[in-house]
Structure 1
Amino acid sequence: MDPLMPSASQDSVEKFLDVPYNQRWECLKPVIVRVYIEENNKLANLSRRMEVEYSFNAQVHQYRYQFKKWGIKKRTVAEEKEAVITALGKRRLQDGTSTSDALINQGDFQKSVDKKQLKRYINQSIRENEQITWTPGLFLRHDLPYAALFRRSSGNDNPSPSVIGPTTPDFVDVKSPHGGPSPSASHNSLSPTMQLIQKKVLFDRAIFFLSGREDDLLAQLDRDEKKSTATWLHDFWMYSFMTAKYWGRGPKTWTFSLINFKSFAKHLVPPTPDHHITFEETSESSSSTAIVPPFDSPTQLCRWTIHHEDPEYEDIPSPPSQSSDEPDARFDIDDESTWSQWRTDDLSRDLASTIGKGLQENAFSAIQPESLPLDANSIVKAVERSPKELEAEGFSFAIISRNRDAIYKIARYRRDRLRECYSDISPFHLAARFLDGGKTCCMVMDVLLTELDDSLSIGVNYIDKSGLTVLDTLFVTIIRSHSTVPPQTLGNAFTGQTRYPGQEVDPCGRWDADSPCIRHLYASGEPAIPSQWKHMFCHTSVQAICHCIASIFGVEWRPDINTPSGLFLKRCGHCGLELKVSPLHALVLTALCLANGGMPGENLFGIIACLVCLLTFRADPCATAKISISLLSGHDPGDDCQHPEINPAELAVLLFEENSGTWTSEIILGWKVLIAILQHDVAKRRDKPTHHEDECEDEEDDVEVCSHYIHEFEEERLSKSVYCGNQRLGAVWALIQAELLTYRRLNEDEPWLSPRFDMRILLEGLESDDDTCLQMLVRGAEEAGENLLQNYSRCGLFYGAKNPMCALREEACTSYYANLDDWERTTFIQPMEC
């Protein structure tokens, strides 16, 4: 909006000669700015011209002061260049867009963009950031397709995908062409400067992604750009997951069509990325009770694993199998039993390199890299020059897909490449988060514990960056899979989270990340597992959790089982004290989540099993913590501190008094058993007048010392792993192990507990301090007094078990009375390593 500029021939009135000197600066401002900025004169020349042409005498330093006062500068600063690049970048696909369309507001004047300065800035910026690295776990986060990601983002403070790109700052004006995106606005039709701007925009977006700045990336994208980016990243996630999951058998290369054909189970694939999803189509509220099409609903009946010792037999060589890449080799992609194992030379291939090659070739997605609103080539190059990071990413996908062979080979032969990136992936936490009791049980955790030692061991890496222990993660897996409790309830580590990570894998084995039900669920726009898919904390999940606990705290390099929990953290608003809880307090609060938000049929047997397992491996029931019931319940505690120091048994009693009025009779019974076990064990441990509490010997007079052979290993290691000061607790642990080894619900109308494990009899025995009731459970009411269990020690471990941390069915039971004979739902796996 520049006015007409006066010239040297104009009369004295236009030169403002009659105006006082100090006021002439503002009157002559348009002339001064034109001569300096538009005609590109230096300050000395500007001073001479103004004196000659306008009889205005001022020194160079005076001009410098006035320009600073007016906010006018010839040089375009980095902030202005970035704003111009962003503004023009939004319009880069519109016909006729040019750098001349952008003007920078300075005071009351507008300055055009210096193309040379802009080019130098862009080229320098790209050179400085070309070697950027990335952090492992980056691709692991993109497990949701666009529709589900949209719903999740609309529920919190993240930028909504409906926002049409970044806003243009007030100090930049851009003339926008009337037309929208045009086919003629291709890269080659742009001016050289606009081509460079487009390169910078796409490059910066790639940098945002590689730096983990997803929010900044989203702020740069309009809705369609968000959709194509999210779809492409999710396609790569699915490719990486399925490549890792099936590594060693079946297809050697997973293409986009092959991935969709298997994971969508030949149903209609959701709309392609060029289909517009409007805000109205996806703005419905996201809830755990969303209705899902019937064919997407998984069964309520679990799968299960049986640890099994293979019988000894004479190995007879088999004829060589056909490799799946031979012309006459055939397999049914829907029937994994037809998939052949890879040949030895194929097994030497590298998982991480294959994942990297897939990214390079883009065979995993229908979206081509050149159509993405970010520079995919920069992402590929960053991955190529980061082999250690890629190895860690491949290791992560092997863990979440539970491919034990792939995990073993990476952990054993490539561990040195993992060291630098190890803390970024937290492998033990990943194993606890993606637990699968239906096919692998505790075996992924066991492989990690066995193969990762020294600085990579769980003893060193028990707590992740968010402050959660591996045991905490197991508790979160329980709550996530078997209740409707939202993540925010679990404390500060989950602030802002609306969705549990790891929910793609069901610990009962009923669905996986590539299962059709999950893929259709996410494609429909639902980011959370519907509550009708879930069921109570069942035996399959319980066994996997307990076996993981036994694995973690049974190894010589185990962490301290009494490490304070990172769950349910609260801070007193009055004194500012951070209220941390012990692992057993956290277990009681996990039980509360199941009691208040659990699924129909919940009886707390699973939590009781976890409690006894933790006590067996020396969790301390006497440990106290400052706890605010008001804060945990979401109530305002008032102006006074209300966080008494209590042990887990006292916490359980207080929670029972406050909540039991709304519980079912099964939960009330289970909670009473929980309290009774805690109180009984606290009393036993406090009744030690002459021995230290850590002594693994019988502290009562005239009672035989525990003779299980595990204590010989403890003496050799000078470290105790098992507590055996409570014989009654040992009997309960033996009963729980037998229950988990012999019973599953085969039909939906059957009970969750077998008749051999009667919670009422157990409660009566604990409360009456009478072993007769426990002996009734050991012998079984229908077996006429014959023991159902093999001999077990005071600490509840079976004498005949090769691995006392994970007894087999035949090592725990005197006869075969299991009902796990549905082979279609059974997976036989090897025993845990001793």
Structure 2
Amino acid sequence: MDLAELIPHSDEEKFLNVPYNDRWEPLRDIIVRLYMGKYAPGGKSMKISDVAEFMTLHYCFYAAETQYRTKFRKWGVRKRILTSEKEEVVNALGKRTHPGTSTSNVTLHQNDFEKSLDTKQLKRYIKDRIRHHTVETMAPGALSSWNLPYAAYTASFPEHPDPPSPLGTTGTTPNYLNIHSPEAMSPGRQAAGPSPNTQLVHQKAIQDRSSLFLQGRHKELLARCSKEDRIMLTNYLHDFYIYFFVTAKYWGRGPRVWTSEMISILTRSGIDLSGPPTPGSTMSGSSPPISRNRPHKSEAPTNLCRWSIHITDVEFDEMEDYSVSEHDGIDIHDPPSWPKWPGTESRNSLSESILESISASTFTVTPSQDLPISTQLVARSLRGDPSKMLLDVWKFAIMAGNLELLKQLSEDGPPSDIDKIHPFHLAASFLDGGNRCCLVIYLLSLHLDASFAFQHNTNDLGHTILDSLMISILRSHTNVEPWKVNANFNPPNRYPGEEKDICGRWDTDSPAVRTLFEHGFPRIPKEWKHPFCHTAAQAICHNAIAVLGSPLSPNINTLSGLFVRRCSHCGLELKLGPLHTLVVVAYCLARNGMQGESMFGALAILVCLLRLGADVSLSVTMSVEDIIGEAESGTCYHRDVKACDLAQAVPQSEINQWSKDCQTGWSCIIGTLDLAKAGKIKKKLESERHCEDLDLSEWVNQSPEEEVEEPPEIGSEKTRCILETTFNGAHSEWLKLPCGNPELGLLWATIQVELLTYRRVEDGAPWVSENFSMDALKYWLTGESDSFCTPLVERKMVKEYSPCGWFFRSADFSCPIAEEVCEDHFMNMDVYDRTSYIEKPDFVGIWEEYVLDETMR
């Protein structure tokens, strides 16, 4: 800088005509430029004494150094860079990888003056921070949160996010910081490598981003990255997510070590989408805006689901050992054919295998040195505290449904902080009725503390475990937007567990799913879904029984965290009860469900919840208009409403627009709620006859809300129910499941038989068997028929059950199998390639153990 340019050329420029105390402001620009600029010999900045001398000599302005210091403080002028400014410089330059980028190109705008960055000061700061960097301890779930590749991740956020998303303006450079573009290179000139200072900046930036990753601050992490780095990092971590899932899913059989090539063969083969992949996916390098409305052209999975059949005395054939160094003939496309590992091999630590893969990056083709985080720091963190990865191992074992892995993990006991991943909610979100049914939650109940579900019934989103089961119905069988169910789902706008189908038609590692996500679709399309099927209904019922049937279970009547509304006028929070939520779910199935919806599944869940003690008389303060209608702002619509009132509030004009099957099913749901509320069916005919094989008049006419002053007579239906089920504990002192009325019991028994004996085995087949007539049920519940004239009842196809609907002669009445409920074999589910034969859980057995343990305490 040329000092001569600051020398005045006239007395007017010296402001000699201005009083002394008033000359500071007119001379302010000259004084600040002298102090902040490089006007001293050797291109250095002036000291205050030099500034004072220059102003005295050339401007006839006499002031002491202390006066200059006072004015500089008042003006906010300082040479030293604040720590926050140094961090902003590192953040800003750390995202720039252009050739020629240098700390010399950075200036700071301060009080209308642009000052150069003190690179030596910055260098000392960065070296000190790098030298004293402490590797963070990994936060729970940091490794298991990247379930989408970049293309789908960006599409899951609103196009105009508010508040800013990690893809928006969160990481923009502050206004006071200016980074000048490097000079353009002449043709043929080779780009110089980064300067030593720039290398330090990038090293510090990588450390900072690695810390954010380890702390689980993922939105801030992405905001600190350039767009290119965001794409690379998100896809890299998604590759790891897929690798972790595949390894956990097949741990104990098949390949012992998975490579990126093997995972690609397993998860990307067999599916092709018309047209090139959406830019920004793992198969391309750039990412222009994604068209979120273009129709997908993928080949949808089969519409025919799988199913699970519980059997007793499950035996697994032991397979011979083998080596997989060269695949050794293993068909990577056919997991069912893979042999199990020898017992000693399966005991090896999955955590160690995952740690080795992170260190070597064998699961991806992305070079680790190109990443905006340090895999070495991540690996060092995990080696320092391997227990932190154990939580992710449990999480992936639950999501993948690997029962043997869960058993092995349970041998050492669950991590002390396992509540942070909400294992029961996680299992409900990744429900796999086609292969595992209720066994994941059964194992969790077996190996976690007996009262764990009771103590941790509500997760971070305010959802109960039952809510998570309801969400699985909505995401799999309707096209209801997630944000309408819970505002916390937006962003990102997707349900948890979308990548796993509840009836086993696809999973996280399915080629169709992975290809769909890589093309920029964050949610499963409507075309892949089908009606609420028997596989899903059975899984929901069994898991609800597993969680809510226990004597230490959560309160089934806990208010729901779904469809929560707030009055626009008075601000009152409005929550639903569990049966209210089920009614809304049924409403969504009728209004936004898939073609062919029968409502049988919703009916089955309703009756199951009633059998578990859901209170039909529970009233909640809610606004029907906000749930099923349009409420205008400025008015309080909320009032006390029961579940049956909510169902009856749906306008008939809307019901008339539904399919005939949905209209019939809706009538059955209302009739069932009325039956549970009134204690008997309100007959439209004069006759009060009931099913010919039951004499129920005494029990049916008694309201469930009335207390019996005298014990029932020997031989009465209520006595029979108590005697028949006490052996199994249903109405014993320790379990206390509600007895209820026999008509509801008949419905529950026939529903169980239908779920255990029928599946839609071919396209065009009905979703409900001919043995269970929804029309006959409607006529019975509405009083138009004396009895439930469905084949299961009329042909006496159902084995003996208690009047409350439990099959008391079953080894475990809470989860019977087909031969325990059917008089003859009429199951149509013997289709080997679509059936998973799995262990029958012993719910009652572990419930009894709970009680014994509590008694011993």
TM superposition score normalised by structure 2: 0.87
Residue 430 of structure 1: SS of its match in structure 2?
helix
Q: Which residue of 1 aligns with 2:519?
A: 524
CA distance, structure 1, for counterparts of residue 779 and residue 285 of structure 2: 63
Tell me the amino acid that sits aligned with residue 800 of structure 1: R
Aligned to 2:421: 425
Residue 789 of structure 1 contacts residue 812 of structure 1 at CA under 8 Å; is this kept in 2?
yes
Matched, 1:253 2:252: no
1:121 maps to 2:125 = yes
1:532-543 alignment runs, 5 A limit: 532-543=527-538
DSSP 3-state at the match of 2:752: helix
Report the counterpart of residue 435 of structure 1 in structure 2.
431
The alignment status of 1:594 with 2:606, answered yes or no, reads: no
CA contact (8 A) 2:107 2:117 kept: yes
2:850 maps to: none
Partner of residue 827 from structure 1, selected from 807, 816, 836: 836
Letter in 2 for 1:641: C
The change in CA–CA distance for 1:661 and 1:255 in structure 2 (over 3 A counts) is same
1:649 aligns with 2:644: yes
Instruction: Answer whether contact 1:250 1:324 (CA < 8 A) is retained.
Output: no
- The 1:491/1:519 distance shift into structure 2, 3 A limit, reads closer
**Matched residue type, 1:832:** P
**Which sections of structure 2, spanning at least 5 residues, go unmatched?**
681-699, 846-857
Structure 2 counterpart SS, 1:307: strand
Deviations for 1:695-731, whole angstroms, at most 9, x for unmatched residues? Answer: 9997999544213554356599744442222111111
Deviation at 1:122, TM superposition (A): 2.4
Larger deviation, residues 551-560 vs 581-590: 551-560
Matched residue of 1:509: which SS? coil
CA distance in 1, matches of 2:376, 2:450: 38
Residues 525 and 6 of structure 1: is their aligned pair in 2 closer, same or farther, counting only changes over 3 Å? closer
- Report 1:276-355 matches (<5 A): 276-279=285-288, 282-286=289-293, 290-294=295-299, 297-310=300-313, 321-325=320-324, 329-355=328-354
After TM superposition, give the deviation of residue 44 of structure 1 in Å. Answer: 5.6
Question: 2:24 and 2:507 mapped to 1: Cα distance?
Answer: 74
Name the CA distance, whole Å, in 1 between partners of 2:82 and 2:327.
Answer: 66
- Counterpart of 2:804? 795
Matches within 5 A, 1:478-627: 478-627=473-622
Structure 1 residues 167 and 466, CA, compared in 2 at 3 Å: closer, same or farther? closer
**Which of 157, 177, 181 is the equivalent residue of 1:176?**
181
Task: Give the residue type in structure 1 aligned to 2:752.
Answer: Q
Pairing of 1:8-27 with structure 2 (within 5 A) = 16-27=15-26
Q: Would you say 1:275 and 2:280 are equivalent positions?
A: no
CA displacement, residues 531-553 of structure 1 (integer Å, 9 cap, x when unaligned): 11100000010011111011112
User: In the alignment, which residue of structure 1 is the partner of 2:761?
Assistant: 746
In structure 1, how many angstroms separate the alpha carbons of the residues matched to 2:267 and 2:708? 52
Separation in structure 1 between the aligned mates of residue 6 and residue 779 of structure 2, nearest angstrom: 104
Give 3-state SS (helix, strand or coil) of 2:23's partner.
helix
Q: Structure 1, residues 475-511: CA drift from partner, whole Å, max 9, x if none?
A: 0100100011101111344344421121111111111
Q: Is the 8 A contact 2:725 2:808 kept in 1?
A: no
Q: Which residue type is aligned with residue 812 of structure 1?
A: V
Are 2:67 and 1:62 equivalent residues in the alignment?
Answer: yes
After superposition, the Cα gap between the structure-2 partners of 1:184 and 1:682, relative to the gap in structure 1 and judged at 3 Å, is farther
Q: Distance in 1 between matches of 2:562 and 2:568?
A: 18
Displacement, 1:449?
1.1
Query: Could you give the per-residue CA deviations for residues 664-722 of structure 1, whole angstroms, max 9, x where no partner exists?
Result: 11111101110111111111299868977799997999544213554356599744442
Give the alignment of 1:92-491 within 5 angstroms: 93-126=97-130, 130-153=134-157, 155=159, 157=161, 166-179=171-184, 189-265=193-269, 273=282, 275-279=284-288, 282-286=289-293, 290-294=295-299, 297-310=300-313, 321-325=320-324, 329-415=328-414, 418-420=415-417, 422-454=418-450, 457-491=452-486
Q: Given that residues 271 and 515 in structure 2 are in contact (C-alpha distance below 8 angstroms), is that contact kept between their aligned partners in structure 1?
A: no
CA distance in 2, matches of 1:577, 1:183: 68
Offset at 1:170? 2.7
Gaps of 5+ in 1: none
Write the distance in 1 (CA, Å) between the matches of 2:352 and 2:140: 14
Partner of 2:689: none
Equivalent-residue separation in structure 2 for 1:736 and 1:326 (angstroms)? 50
Kindly report the root-mean-square deviation, in angstroms, between the aligned alpha carbons of the 2 structures: 3.3
Gap change, CA 1:715 and 1:232, over 3 Å in 2: closer
Does 2:676 match 1:671?
no
Relative to structure 2, which stretch is displaced further, 476-485 or 71-80?
Answer: 71-80
Equivalent residues of 1:323, 1:341 under 8 A apart: no
Partners of 1:807 and 1:220 lie apart in 2 by 55
Equivalent of 1:817, from 807, 826, 835?
826
Offset at 1:176?
0.7
Structure 1 residues 162 and 490: CA distance shift in structure 2, 3 A = closer
Range with greater deviation from structure 2 (222-231 or 252-261) = 222-231
Offset of residue 605 of structure 1: 0.3
Q: Compute the displacement of 1:78 (Å).
A: 2.4
Percent identity of the aligned residues? 37
Q: Is the 8 A contact 1:3 1:30 kept in 2?
A: no
Deviations 1:54-108 (A, max 9, x none): 54322344222321343311211123223322333343x3333222211112223
1:401/1:202 Cα in 2 relative to 1: closer, same or farther (>3 Å)?
A: same
**Count of equivalent residues:** 810
Aligned to 1:779: 793
1:659 counterpart letter in structure 2: E
- For 2:662 and 2:85, the matched residues in 1 are separated by 64
Quote the Cα distance in structure 1 between the aligned partners of 2:166 and 2:135.
30
> 1:760 corresponds to which letter in structure 2?
D
CA distance 1:18–1:799, change in 2 (3 Å): closer
The answer to whether the Cα contact below 8 Å between 1:255 and 1:364 also exists between their aligned partners in 2 is yes
> Residues 598 and 661 of structure 2 are in contact (CA less than 8 Å); yes or no, is this contact kept in structure 1?
yes
Tell me which amino acid in the other structure corresponds to 2:447: E
Report if the CA contact (8 A) 2:430-2:497 is conserved: yes
Cα deviation code 1:189-245 (max 9, x no counterpart): 322211111112222222333333333333333332221111101100000000000
Amino acid at match of 1:285: R
State the secondary structure of the residue aligned to 2:308. strand
Does the 8 Å contact 1:306/1:828 carry over to 2?
A: yes
- Which one of 800, 805, 810 corresponds to residue 814 of structure 2? 805
Task: From the superposition, tell whether residues 311 and 447 of structure 1 become closer, same or farther in structure 2 (CA, over 3 Å).
Answer: closer
Change (3 A) 1:796 1:400: same
**Partner Cα separation in structure 1 for residue 114 and residue 837 of structure 2:** 75
What are the superposed Cα offsets for residues 638-667 of structure 1, whole Å, 9 maximum, x if unpaired? 433211211111111112546313211111
State the distance in 2 between where 1:33 and 1:802 align: 89
In structure 2, C-alpha distance between the alignment counterparts of 1:384 and 1:80, rounded to whole Å? 34
- Aligned partners of 1:670, 1:327: CA distance in 2, in Å? 56
1:584 and 1:664 map into 2 onto residues whose CA distance is: 23
Counterpart CA distance in 1 for 2:132 and 2:650 is: 58
Change (3 A) 1:220 1:669: same
**Residues 104-153 of structure 1: per-residue CA shift (max 9 Å, x gap):** 12223222222232123324444666232332223322111122223223
Cα distance per residue 1:523-575 (max 9 Å; x no partner): 22222111111000000100111110111122232111111111111111222
| Larger deviation, residues 708-717 vs 689-698 | 689-698
SS for the counterpart of 1:458 is helix
- TM-score w.r.t. structure 1 length? 0.90
Determine the structure 2 residue equivalent to 1:73: 78
Amino acid at match of 1:84: V
Other structure's SS at 2:748 match:
helix
